[in-house]
Structure 1
Amino acid sequence: MEVSSYYDRGRISNIVWTITDKYGYEVDFSLIEQDYFSYELIYNATIIGSVYNILDYKMIADFIKSIKEQINKAKEILTLFFMCIEETCINKNIEFIKNIENIRYENYKYNIKILSETGKKDKLYNMLRLAYWHNNTDKIMIFPHNIIHIIRSIGEFKTVDNTIDFIEKFKKIINLYFKFEEDNINQNIENAQNINEKTKSAIAISIKNNKEKIYEFFEEYTSSEFNPNESIIEKNFSTDSSTIDEKEDISKEEENLKKMENYYGKTMFDINKLHILEKKYCKDIHHAYKLFFTKGDLSSIKEDYRKNQIEQEQNKNKYEYMSKKEYYDRSIEKLKSIIKQSLAQNENVKNKSYSGNVDARLIYKAEKINDYKIFWKEKRRDEIKFLVDIVIDSSASLLEKQSKLSVQAYIISKALEDLKIENSIKTFNSFMDYTVIKILKDYDDMKSENCFDYFCSGGNRDGLAIDVIGSMSNNMSDYKKMMIIFTDAKPFDVQVLHAIGTKAKKPYQGDIAIDDTANVIRKLRQKSTKVCGIFSGQEEDVGVIRYIYGSDFLHINSVEQLSTKVGRFISDYISNFYE
């Protein structure tokens, strides 16, 4: 796949860092740009991250470069080589990368369909891939015998866990299946059906001289001077990052917390406080996951690479606003004018209360459903206090929309701030085992500009994050509450690790993630919080948004729509308390 956009590079880097448990390094994208990588981005990046984690990445990259430079018609060899890599790395990392099995299966199924409909499926390298995908989706393999034997040999790479073993096994495959006599090749496939002469010729390609070049290359890397546990691998991420000793859980947790601080900013709570919160919120589908709270203080991040990366993202957001400042400022004024209409009148209004003038018609509620708001109390309009939480999904899937979302959040926060309506800005994403809650602006802050500090990385576990954020205003019971959530309709976390030797955590994707998020939204509504989902994605995902948020969502594709639709939504909500 071509990795040209900043968005793709950011997502790939985040996946690689998560898999290797090492963060901030500059990731090499040369492997993922090879023809073999026709999967979608997440699975492509997972293979690359797994290569970093299991094998010597530099050796793999050098070998591919050498083969392409020195050997004619090397595509068959490289196709086989990459399948062996995939078998070694993905199967090894399935032990601790959640949801990869499902993602892998869907990629194979899709590629089988696409390749089967083309006229290139009889080429040897495509036939190998089709057979490999069929084998891993439990489909019947109707292929030539020699192709089936190759695929079965690839299966042996599941047990490989170091570079030396990988090299030796691949040399055996080259020796076994790339014969040099045309007659032997033809004999191997003479009983196969649906094989044309062009394919026979491709299978019979002679690599007599090439074999020596391949062996010569590998010998250089397996010399006595090469130690797979030192030097080269250490520079390209250690192979041991996936192994965790359970006896070191406490020190590992402290180490991980420091790692999170260096990646997102100083923690707001110590480990003991976090344990209390995790016990309360990290249960059922979220059991054994972690929470991390921060205000994103840039000065607390020690690693220059990470600090520079965040500063670049913040500058991009600020530039988006400043480059169209007049346009965006008009949107703020428009939003304010719509909301003002519901705040303009001054007469007293009646509200249900726990004390005041009793309403006989409501007494049955106290007896039947324990609802004791059976009194009416008059309040001046300006005595009714409103609170708005602006919540933004900050997972890497929204990296492409990051700057526009930061400005949209700013428009809403600034309008509310000018109208003296208290509001907060919070973002969420998941990284390692942590759900990260970042508080950019608290209720009593006059800092709407902090929206520009929003940046995207990692995955997202929407249900857990929204549940936690929704509870952060529990002590403000005298406020009428609203939560506005910027979302991409994909509440999925596909980048979470768990320690080898511990019980695997439940996957968080598909219907499980959608149902969990929908249940959290319903729970917030039961606590009298008005929830609004803001969505700017594709029409095909509107069904998911509607399932999660019901009728309380806004499909917005422009700032003009944002001001009008959000203004009306907030205005209608406020007006309900003045009727």
Structure 2
Amino acid sequence: MYMNNTEPVEIDEYRLELENRIRNLLWTVSGDYQLDMKPDVSLFLRSKAIALYDGIKQGALARYYDKDMLGLYLVKKIFLQAGENELTFVAQLCIEEAIGDKICEERPGIRDMQRQCMEDILEQEFDILPDLRDIPGRLKVAVLRRRLNNGEWHVEKKLQPFMELIERAGNSTDTLELIRVIDELYNRLMDPDFESMHGTLEQVLAVTMEDLTEYSWEDFLSEEMYEEVLESYAEQLTNSVSGLENSAVTEEMEEKRQKKRSVKVVTPEMLEKAYTYVELNYGKSYLSEAEEKKINYQMCRGIHSDCSLYFTEGILKNPVKSNYQYEYAKRLRNKNIWLYHDKHRIVKHNITVLTETLRKSLVLRSETQTVLSDRGMIVPSRLWRIGRTNDAKLFQQELKGEISDFVVDVLIDASGSQMKRQGDVALQAYIISEALSNVDIPYRVMSFCTFWDYTIMHRFRRYDDPRSENDNIFNYVTSSNNRDGLAIRTAGYDLLQREEEKKIMIILSDGRPYDVIINRPNAKNPEPYQGKAAIADTATEVRRLRNLDVSVLGVFAGEEKDLATEKKIFGKDFAYIRDIANFSKIVGRYLTKQLEIDG
């Protein structure tokens, strides 16, 4: 039945047998044969050890701690605006520490299964998912390796306080003590502003059942679960936190299994034809085939699993041939340039105002003071003091003020719904670009739209390109649909790889994520992307970046009726530009605030 511990297996024929096996393990470890649970048989797709250890840990959690109390805490924390995925991640690390050694001491035979589970998770997740390259991801790797090293660990300085906090979870003797560790780790690692913005642990625990039942949980729950909201959601959370594996990997394996079982309707020839058509309409890709495959594998997951990414510098810079689309893009570029000349004075004024606003903030950070010293550049006018005074300060030194490094990403919605605002949106991006060039802050400008199952990422300039590349922004063309969440996730991935301390993303959009075309020819036909699901996905990607210390500003360039959606996506950090004449003041205020934080 199993070739080895990590080889995916076909599970449908054995589902009942596997469920019974996991359920028996849970009952044996917990000692409670009335305990009800739905075994996650899909974990057998990843490895036998992961699936069985997951069941064991659920039983151990029920034995050593109060699952209901823990689940209710998680629900209350999320009610007060904690990120569900981030809170689940933190709780997983703490719970593994709290019960991992206990169950092995009681039942030594579990130790080998535990080790195999950790090895399989490391093998399947390490260096595959992008989140393993940030601090939380590295922390998870450290926890897994610590299990394999018999409790010993050596980590970089940044991770030490978090590892020490996780160790505290291992010494927790009751549920409340464990909850305190989870809460502190979440606040320190994921959201340092949580207590000041939303409340302390005591305030979290003080949330009443009346508060919870009045809250709308549609954003978190499927329709099937909504009838018994709190009980079902709390149970779902506690089941999630008892494991340590990344659910995205499990989901991907399940998706691959389902695809193997289904009839393939998109042949390689059809996919090649679709790719060629995209190339003709949007220009050649600047990535190699291997690079494209890698980024698609990393980004196109979950709701975007049937999607593809395409990276280009545009049809005007890298055309396949001079076709109708090429000539159409040239006309639109000329139209953008014409509008620039028509509004030349307004644009120049905005660039000047935004430049001066940024420059003042940067000057405050980087002012250089000249002071007298016993070393440095000699001051001839003070040489007479030699032998006549004990004051040996015959030199002057320049003391440079500390300045944090900044980097900015400008991401522009290039969907067809922006067509009537195309020129104004191009001017907004150009104003930001010129001002950032004037103050020497590195930045990148990209647009996105979705054509068939391809989300097109059009790069106008790279982070360290010269000012001359700013003119490429007038190549901005709008068409087709938009998968905002996928575009933000993709752009954010590159931004997070930058070394600068302060990262900022500015998103120019109309607040209408939408990608619905059924039965696209020669395409994989991803699930429709619209309404609540699309808005929630986009908002999730924005929150994820903010949790990773990226400042995200939404610049609303749409119709007033879509303002409410924009607020759901970006929260308080969004700007509504009614008149381009006020653009620099509104965006300048936000950027200044970011430059002054920790200044």
TM-score (norm 1): 0.50
Q: Which has the higher contact order (CA 8 A, sep 6+)?
A: 1
Tell me the TM-score normalised to structure 2 length. 0.48
